[in-house]
Structure 1
Amino acid sequence: MTQRLVSTFQINITAVRSNFYKNQKLTVERLSHPEALSRIAGEWGLLDRQTWPSMPFTSAAWIVPWWKHFRRNTALVRDELFFHIVRDGNGELVALVPLMRTFAPAIGPRALRILQFFGTDAALTEVRGVICRPEDHVPVVKAVAAHFVAACGDWDVFRWAGLHRTVDEYDQPGLNCKFLMRGELPDYLIKLDGSWDDLRQRVSANMRKNLRKAYDSLERGGINFALRVTERHEDVAAAFARFVELHTARAQAPDMILHPNKFGPSNVRAFFGAYLHAAAERGELRIFELEIGGVAVASRLTFLIESDLYMYFAGYDPAWKTHSVMTVLMAEIIKWAYAHGIEQVNLSTGHDQSKVRWKPCEILFREAVQVSPTRRAWAAFQLFRAYEGWGRLRIRWKP
């Protein structure tokens, strides 16, 4: 059974910090221009290293280029920068709120105005929301919610994501703007305690069986494999090209579970072309490839953030499906993580049996909406539901 990490988000707040928030007001302010983001880069970096769990999606290195490559400006939808930050009474940066205000349609007096976090892509930004220390999360969300209720004429619907608690814990007496639950997103973590052999004994019986069969299949066929790890920026372009080829091959494979090709659109490839090179220069990129006969047959993008390894998208040659090359690659990556002192492997978001078999700890991120307490907003809420439905279809079927 998957262990659920509920208590981790309920970190014991020290008496000093708890009393601090009782006596000091958090201030929410807007950054109106992209150039303003560069002025808080130092503070942003310090705060980002204190978030949990560690992910690439909270960093300026992800969010700033995301706006460049993915913001929309069409007749149907227009995204406006609506980035906010939260400071305490001493001026310390407590949280970043990477918001945009989306107009749908883009023009007209009846346009639906949606506040939502950066990352409205085809499931590339896996977790979105406020960026802050775990112990600051609830007071920050409440401060941001109160700020926007006071400016309720500027928006119709607020799409919350990445919430750590159940939605009723964010409601505030007298605010007249409830959080309405919209869904949950699980994330799965493996603590690398002990050794690889210890982990292998902890996983499910099915996982142990799959591991044994995968390695035995290659051995019976006299097939030797090697693990290639790309981390130098000068090697990134070639490794990423091989990854895209394998990811596309898996997406196009007939008679298999549907896996959409996430890296087909040109703006996606442009974003990752820049992001991966920068991540390699920071020492945060590892592209793992399983090679057979000197040819990559499986590949996975991962991000090394402090002592955590985040598993991102993968791809493999369907011709090697019967040898379970992705299972072998996954096992080899975790062995590598043990050998290099990695403390935690994040299997990424979304429920998947291949993740659960590792007996990971589960974290739940919740999604909710607030409807602005105005007559116009409630009238537009049905239009928002249609917008949500269109978004789900776009993410599911976009090639």
Structure 2
Amino acid sequence: MNAQTADLASPALEARTLHGLDEFMRLERDWRRLVATTRSRNPFLTWEWVSTWLRHFCAETLVTVVVTEGEQVVGIAPFHRRRYQLMPGVAATALQLLAPSEIGHLFEIREVLTAEERRVEVVQALLTELEADPFWDWVELSAYGPDVHLWHQVLAGMNRTLEGVVESEKQVPLMTLMASWEDQRSLLKRNIKESIRHCYNSLKREDHAFAVRVAVDRVERASAISSLFELHRLRSLVREGRWHTDHFNVRRVREFLAEALEAMAISGSAALQTLRIDGELAAVRATMEAGNSLYLYYSGFDPRWWRYGVMTLMVTQLIQGAIERGLTDVNFSPGVDDSKTRWGVKLEPLLSMAIVRRRPGPQVRRLVIRFRKWLGKRAWRAYRSASERVARKRTSART
């Protein structure tokens, strides 16, 4: 094949940078097409979620790199330009993929959206365009599942002016669904089978009736999301077992989630699941769907029902429902703990990385910010550990 034929087979990729929310919103048709053609299992790439997120948190700071092949858009990467003040007159600037990273726990899986073909070339074109922007010290990115290998390749092939750094690698528990609940249950280990039996039998023994249902209209969803926020707060107060943070204690976060989940529910990519016992609301869970995969998002429960294992009950019911609807897997969200791994999951990688300019200034500024964040996490862990010790002492004193 000569060079001219190769050029006809693979048109050159071009990249451009857009600024602000209005220019990004004009990409809706291209965004939806790329999500559909890639058959993504990431619900956080739905247009309803992404557009609402960017409108709430990145409107004035949004920088979007668009890669095209001829007239066709083949890659889109929206970034939040984050400025950190180090001291008077000195600041560090980061481009954060689909961030701000300080509330990244809400946007649990962030990815660059690319077409299936020529993915490495699309990413390289994106990075070349980013490098031409002189107003950043480092770029924060993430990749999920099969794309992790691709990004390892890209980081290894960085040019001399940029350094690729892997900051962390989490695991995402994923349960492959069988054809029936009986088949699924047969694969579970003894401990989770006993937990499932306990939650059903304990309610039956005390003549409690339960029902899990989906909020079906705007009024029901508004009530369910409000209950989710309150029950999530109450869950954070439970000191037995694993500590849970109240992630919704900021009004801006609650307003975003209420709008995003409502938009996703209308499109069929999210639902608010409620568990009632004897007619009383006991738990709420937000779920999402993408690519025949059920995603278990945040939840909350009334601590008065804790001893009945209401969250195990709800997850069991959701898994059974997913099997009945022909879904292929259940995503338990990033992070590994016993409450997830006991369901017989496999683990998929979620990579967080940075691309840093190979100059002393950007390198030092990034290290200062990382150290500042590390100190903040240490302080929070110390506070949490002290609170847990106090809670255990109070529990011991009562008993």
Q: After alignment, is 156-165 or 47-56 more displaced? A: 47-56
Q: Assess, with a 3 A threshold, how the Cα gap between structure 1 residues 213 and 21 changes in structure 2: closer, same or farther.
A: farther
Aligned residue for 1:231, secondary structure, equals coil
CA contact (8 A) 2:18 2:66 kept: yes
Residue pair 1:310, 1:345 contacting (<8 A) in 2 also: yes
Greater mean deviation of Cα atoms: 135-144 or 271-280: 135-144
- Name the SS of the counterpart of 1:368 in structure 2: strand
Per-residue deviation, residues 121-144 of structure 1 (Å, max 9, x unmatched): 151000113112456543333332
Q: Deviations over 1:61-100 (max 9, x none)?
A: 222222332349xxxxxx7221111112x22111110112
Classify the secondary structure of the residue corresponding to 1:50: helix
CA distance in 1, matches of 2:127, 2:325: 42
Tell me what 1:203 maps to: 188
Query: How do 1:165-204 and structure 2 match up within 5 A?
Result: 165-166=148-149, 168-170=152-154, 171-172=156-157, 174-204=159-189
Q: Is the 8 A contact 2:295 2:331 kept in 1?
A: yes
1-side partners of 2:8 and 2:297: how far apart?
Answer: 36
Report the Cα distance in structure 1 between the residues aligned to 2:289 and 2:148, rounded to whole angstroms.
27
| Aligned residue runs from structure 1 range 213-228, under 5 A | 213-228=198-213
Contact 2:111 2:143 in 1 (8 A): yes
2:308 to 311, 323, 328: 323
Cα distance, 1:326 vs structure 2: 0.6
Distance 2:179 2:271 in 1: 23
What do residues 165-197 of structure 1 show as CA deviations (whole Å, max 9, x unaligned)? Answer: 256411226444231111112222222231111
The aligned amino acid for 2:140 is R
Distance 1:21 1:283, change over 3 A: farther
In 2, Cα distance between equivalents of 1:249 and 1:111: 39
**Contact 1:52/1:134, CA 8 A, preserved across alignment:** no
Correspondence 1:104 to 2:90: no
Alignment partner of 1:34 out of 2, 12, 21: 21
Partner of 1:336: 321
- Aligned with 2:175: secondary structure? strand
Q: Measure, in 2, the Cα distance between the counterparts of 1:291 and 1:105.
A: 48
Secondary structure of 1:260 counterpart: coil
SS of the aligned residue for 1:100 comes to strand
Alignment of 1:63-78 (within 5 A): 63-71=50-58
- CA distance in 1 between counterparts of 2:362 and 2:92 reads 8
Mark the CA change 1:262 to 1:52 in structure 2 (over 3 Å): closer, same or farther. farther
> How many angstroms apart in 2 are the aligned matches of 1:392 and 1:85?
35
Q: Which amino acid aligns with 2:226?
A: A
Alignment of 1:121-136 (within 5 A): 121=103, 123-133=105-115, 136=118
- Is the Cα–Cα contact under 8 Å of residues 214 and 323 in structure 1 kept in the other structure? yes
Per the alignment, do residues 327 and 25 of structure 1 end up closer, same or farther by CA in structure 2, a change over 3 Å counting?
same
Give me the whole-angstrom Cα distance separating, in 1, the residues matched to 2:21 and 2:158.
35
Q: CA deviation at 1:58?
A: 1.3
1:12 aligned partner: none
CA distance, structure 1, for counterparts of residue 97 and residue 183 of structure 2: 40
Which structure 2 segments of 5+ residues have no match? 1-5, 385-399
Which residue of the partner structure matches residue 286 of structure 2?
301
Q: Among 32, 47, 55, which residue is 1:45 paired with?
A: 32
State the distance in 1 between where 2:202 and 2:7 align: 60
Deviation at 1:52, TM superposition (A): 5.5
- Tell me how far 1:55 sits from its aligned partner: 2.4
Please give the TM-score of this superposition, normalised by the length of structure 2. Answer: 0.84
Structure 1, unaligned runs of 5 or more: 1-18, 73-78
Equivalent of 2:93 in 101, 113, 118:
113
Q: Are 1:162 and 1:365, in contact at CA under 8 Å, matched by a contact in 2?
A: yes
Distance 2:135 2:184 in 1: 51
- One-letter amino acid of the structure 1 residue matched with residue 305 of structure 2: W
| Change in 2 beyond 3 A, CA 1:131/1:330 | same
Change (3 A) 1:181 1:122: closer
Match of 1:93 among 35, 55, 73: 73
Distance across 2 between alignment mates of 1:394 and 1:169 = 36
TM-score (norm 1): 0.84
Q: Which moved more, 1:137-146 or 1:244-253?
A: 137-146
1:16 matched residue in structure 2:
none
Query: Aligned partners of 1:59 and 1:122: how far apart in 2?
Result: 16
CA distance in 2, matches of 1:172, 1:122: 27
The verdict on how the C-alpha distance between 1:205 and 1:351 changes in structure 2, with shifts beyond 3 A counting, is same
For residues 250-300 of structure 1, the C-alpha deviation after alignment (integer angstroms, 9 at most, x for no partner) is: 012234422111112100111122112212221222211221110111111
Q: How far is 1:50 from its partner?
A: 3.4
Task: Give 2:366's match in structure 1, choosing from 373, 381, 393.
Answer: 381
Mapped partners of 2:360, 2:241: distance in 1: 48
Could you say if the C-alpha distance between residues 379 and 254 of structure 1 is closer, same or farther in structure 2, counting changes exceeding 3 Å? closer
Please give the per-residue CA displacement for 1:226-265, whole angstroms capped at 9, x wherever unaligned: 1121132232111112222211110122344221111121
What is the aligned partner in structure 1 of residue 44 from structure 2?
Answer: 57
Contact 1:158-1:369 at 8 Å conserved across structures: yes
Partner of residue 276 from structure 2, selected from 260, 272, 291: 291
Within a 5 Å distance, the mapping from 1:144-293 to structure 2 comes to 144-151=126-133, 153-162=134-143, 164-166=147-149, 168-170=152-154, 171-172=156-157, 174-293=159-278
